[in-house]
């Protein structure tokens, strides 16, 4: 099994936490915009141990041995799949204490980044023009998001096989809706970038013909 990318996992967890904080209705209605921003900043400054503890251990800070145990479990999370995490099969086998919704969100973001980041990095090696790199980036995001949406849809179909089918569906359906929307948004941005790139190339060719 491939090694765990700790930095990528930390970034993925923070991204999920920032999404939760940004969309939190209570915070929006009861704290000032400035305080809301400060909460987001605090999330970005959390350590690896802190974000792992919050996302996968219900906020109880893990010690060195606990982190090592989690990292071994996380590899198993990836092996068993999203339905097993959301539906309690992983927890039953490993004694994991993560909340299904948080764990699933972090795993999905991690998988998306694992799929899109190497592709995005290759864009800088392939292309020199910013518009070409931007188009390439969106192609990476669209392809990775397609895989995520397909995986979630497939995993939802497996919920009936899990110890807690309703919990499984409850955790996965919001993710399916969220990532379907992300895919739609990324696809629109890709199309827009391609239009801008084509227009720029036509303008450059016109300038060359006109000397």
54 in a structural domain: yes
Cα 188 from Cα 140, distance rounded (Å)? 13
In terms of DSSP H, where are the helices of the chain? 6-23, 25-30, 33-44, 48-56, 64-80, 82-86, 89-94, 100-126, 130-156, 165-209
1 in a structural domain: no
Q: If you search the block for the tokens 């292309």, which residue do you land on?
A: 127
33 in a structural domain: yes
Q: Which residues of 121-140 are buried (b: 16+ CB within 10 A; e: fewer)?
A: eebeeeeeeebbbbbbbbbb
Per-residue pLDDT tens listing for the chain (211 residues): 357 899 999 999 999 999 988 888 888 788 888 898 898 999 999 999 999 998 888 878 989 998 988 888 777 778 888 998 889 887 766 656 667 778 889 999 999 999 999 999 999 999 999 999 999 999 999 999 999 999 999 999 999 999 999 999 999 999 999 999 999 999 999 999 999 999 988 887 877 777 6
Q: CB of 142 within 8 A of CB of 120?
A: no
Number of domains in the chain: 1
- Full domain range(s) for residue 95: 6-209
Q: What is the pTM of this model?
A: 0.86
Residue 1 is predicted with a pLDDT of 39
């Amino acid at each position: 099994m491939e090694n765990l990318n700790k930095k990528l996992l930390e970034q993925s967890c923070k991204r999920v936490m920032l999404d939760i904080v940004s969309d939190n209705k209570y915070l929006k209605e009861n704290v000032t915009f400035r305080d809301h921003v400060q909460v987001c900043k605090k999330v970005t400054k959390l350590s690896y141990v802190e974000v792992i503890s919050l996302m996968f251990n219900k906020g109880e800070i893990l010690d060195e041995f606990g982190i090592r145990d989690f990292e071994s479990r996380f590899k198993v999370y990836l092996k068993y799949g999203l339905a097993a995490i959301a539906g309690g099969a992983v927890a039953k086998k490993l004694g994991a204490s993560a909340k299904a919704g948080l764990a699933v969100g972090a795993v999905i973001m991690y998988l998306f980044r694992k799929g899109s980041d190497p592709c995005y990095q290759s864009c800088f090696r392939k292309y020199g023009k910013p518009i070409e790199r931007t188009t390439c980036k969106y192609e990476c995001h669209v392809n990775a998001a397609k895989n995520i949406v397909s995986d979630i849809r497939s995993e939802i179909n497996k919920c009936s096989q899990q110890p807690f089918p309703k919990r499984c569906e409850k955790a996965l359906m919001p993710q399916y809706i969220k990532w379907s929307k992300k895919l739609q948004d990324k696809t629109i941005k890709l199309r827009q970038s391609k239009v801008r790139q084509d227009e720029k190339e036509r303008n450059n060719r016109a300038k060359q013909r006109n000397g």
